[in-house]
Chain A
Amino acid sequence: MALADNRLASDGRDRPTWFERVPPAYWVGGFLLLVMPSFASDFILFQIFGWTFILGIIALSLMFLAGYGGMVSLAQMTFAGCAGYMVAIFGTSAITDISLGWPWFVAIPLALIVAVLLGTLTGWLAVRTEGIYTIMITLAIAAAFFYFTRQNYVIFNGFSGFNGVLPPQLFGVDWRGSTAFYYLTLFWAALCYFAVLYISRAPFGLALQGIRDNQRRMSALGFNAIAHRVAAYAFAALLAGIGGILLTWQSAQISPGTAGIGAAIDILVVAVIGGLRHPIGAFIGAFIYVILKTFALDALEAIGLAGERFQLLIGLGFLLIVFWSPDGVLGLWARWRESRSRDPLLERGGERP
């Protein structure tokens, strides 16, 4: 994977204005997403899209680390779960013995800070390793977090965790209402998406990709590769933390299973299905995953198979995608576009559309 071939702001000559530089796909997609509540059902808004955006944000944090940094972390769901637990502990929940009941503007920032600290610590441990060892260390941290939360009753309330964790009633809006929750998650998903896109071309992101491609060269340019990678973990943990808080609000509860091993692997599956080469892959992967997870059960029962086999369908889909397109759905899309532009009948002669 080489650095993306788009330019930095090179100079002033015939620079299009900002809205001319936004590709049409963004206008169409943005418009559709904004007007979605006028025709989609509550179930679609809350369960399908709300969940897609949340999973997408957490998978995006993995895409940032793996795609730009070359570091596959299985602990992203752990950072998300950590932030979720922290809003339950610092804020309000049905477990009034433990929850401190602090106002949201204290609880939420504090939760994100704790998640970032955990991410930084994990990164600090993981960045000295490569490949499979990074995966093993982050998996170990994910497993430790899962078992710790399940066995600790004083802070994490053990097996049952916390229920009744609700978003604040800000501006008099019930943010768990399907339309409000849809816009809430859409807003944060879009913010995280554009932040990652923007940072990928800022010095920090460029250097991260440089370190992925050639660490030795980057050291010889004055970059501290270790510090840079740890900072990438911290930023990814912030993204995952945002996703984790939204996830906790969506189900109104957080328990050890939310950040269990299965969930950690699901995030990897989501990111790989979508593709790691571009931030949008995280959301495409999340959408496919949510659709399969929601409808596979009914679809399987409709054709006379046991409904609980839906994980098999997800597993098969994952196998097919990594087998035919290691770059995920984005890779398939890129290849389709390439083959189209090469088609002599269309007389495009390799020109990029």
Chain B
Amino acid sequence: MNAPARISRRLGASGTANALELRGVSKLFGALVALEDIDITVRPGERRAVLGSNGAGKTTLFNCITGDFRASAGSIRFFGEDISTFPPHERIRRGLRRTYQISLLFAGLSVLDNIYLACVGVSRRRFSFLRPRRDDSLMAAAGELVEMVHLDADRDTLVSNLSYGQQRQLEIAMALSGAPRFILFDEPAAGLSPSERGDLVEILNGLPAHMGYIIIEHDMDVALRVAESVTMMHNGRIFREGKPAEIEQDPEVQALYLGGGDG
């Protein structure tokens, strides 16, 4: 296929296809069914919250989407392209990003260098034997991300010296490196103080409109402020899907999750 055709196919794919389309995705760990027959469709630019109790399969779902785990069955399409069999780095290079529930950062590197590494990973300079120059474009991009997550004062601080909240912010900056098209946030608000949660909501709502995401969040307050649709998971299955208001009002959801069981 020649280059223009490839580009137009890509553009076409982004224009018409869904950002993320899961069909019949299952994941088994031996006899344990972690995910069962998951169908999820997310439009480009859509912001979705995934709710569910511990063990509902939320993080496993993320791991299947990013390729950390290979799904046992089903297909995953990313902007129209079947990525089910792709290794993680190929999925990331296509514009998928994720943050981790437990921060996985490089503790011996500075804030800026962590983000720089994330920018290098999705560039063609991955294998470069040359150190970044003073006017390096990726370094400049990393600098902008530092400002975006309000870590300017700590750009040269080693990650091991950051507070927990700052580390979570750094995780988000790393997920925004390159040209992300869709991001998976795995409990970004966990362990944050109320004011840090406010910052997080501000960062998420400040993302460009075309940048859709799925956010796993226990805190309904945060989830409902940053998402326009909600998927409720239970025991590895999809339990409900809908607008935040509908989900909040659903008696079964309340019984299961919101602690309104006796009401």
- Which residues 1-29 of A sit at the B interface, judged by CB distance below 8 A? 2-5, 7-12, 15
How many chain B residues have a CB neighbour from A under 8 Å? 45
Q: Which of A5, A202, A223 has a CB less than 8 Å from the CB of B158?
A: A5
Which of B38-46, B113-121, B236-244 sits within the interface?
B113-121
Complex CA–CA separation, A218 to B143 (angstroms): 20
Min Cβ gap B131→A in Å is 5
Q: Which residues of A contact B15 (CB under 8 A)?
A: none
Complex CA–CA separation, A327 to B66 (angstroms): 37
A217 within 8 A of B: yes
Of all chain A residues, the one with the shortest Cβ separation from B99 is: A220
Q: Which of B68, B120, B143 has a CB less than 8 Å from the CB of A216?
A: B68
- Which residues 215-259 of A sit at the B interface, judged by CB distance below 8 A? 216-225, 228, 231
Q: Which residues of A contact B210 (CB under 8 A)?
A: none
CB pair A10–B110 under 8 Å, yes or no, is yes
Min Cβ gap B44→A in Å is 21
Min Cβ gap B16→A in Å is 26
Q: Which residues of B contact A10 (CB under 8 A)?
A: 110, 112, 139, 155-156
- Which residues 60-114 of B sit at the A interface, judged by CB distance below 8 A? 66-68, 87-89, 92-93, 98, 100, 104-110, 112-113
CB pair A213–B106 under 8 Å, yes or no, is yes
B173 within 8 A of A: no
Of all chain B residues, the one with the shortest Cβ separation from A218 is: B121
Q: Which residues of B contact A228 (CB under 8 A)?
A: 126-127
CB pair B117–A206 under 8 Å, yes or no, is yes
Given contacts A203-B126, A220-B92, A220-B98, contact A8 B120 (CB under 8 A): no
How many chain A residues have a CB neighbour from B under 8 Å? 34
CB pair A214–B106 under 8 Å, yes or no, is yes
B125 within 8 A of A: yes
Q: Which residues of A contact B156 (CB under 8 A)?
A: 7, 10
Q: Which residues of A contact B93 (CB under 8 A)?
A: 222
CB pair A9–B104 under 8 Å, yes or no, is no
CB pair A222–B131 under 8 Å, yes or no, is no
CB pair A203–B178 under 8 Å, yes or no, is no
Q: Which of B68, B112, B117 has a CB less than 8 Å from the CB of A221?
A: B117
CB pair A219–B104 under 8 Å, yes or no, is no
CB pair A219–B92 under 8 Å, yes or no, is yes
Min Cβ gap B182→A in Å is 14
B8 within 8 A of A: no
A199 within 8 A of B: yes
Interface flags for B190-221 (1: CB within 8 Å of A; 0: not) read: 00000000000000000000000000000000
Q: Which residues of A contact B261 (CB under 8 A)?
A: none
B133 within 8 A of A: yes
Of all chain A residues, the one with the shortest Cβ separation from B116 is: A8
Interface centre among A5, A201, A214 (most CB of B within 10 A): A5
Q: Which residues of B contact A231 (CB under 8 A)?
A: 127
Return 16 A-B CB contacts under 8 Å, by A number.
Answer: A3-B108, A8-B113, A10-B155, A198-B131, A199-B129, A203-B130, A204-B126, A204-B128, A206-B117, A207-B117, A207-B121, A214-B104, A221-B89, A221-B118, A221-B122, A228-B127
Nearest 5 A/B pairs, CB to CB = A221-B121, A2-B108, A222-B121, A3-B108, A222-B92
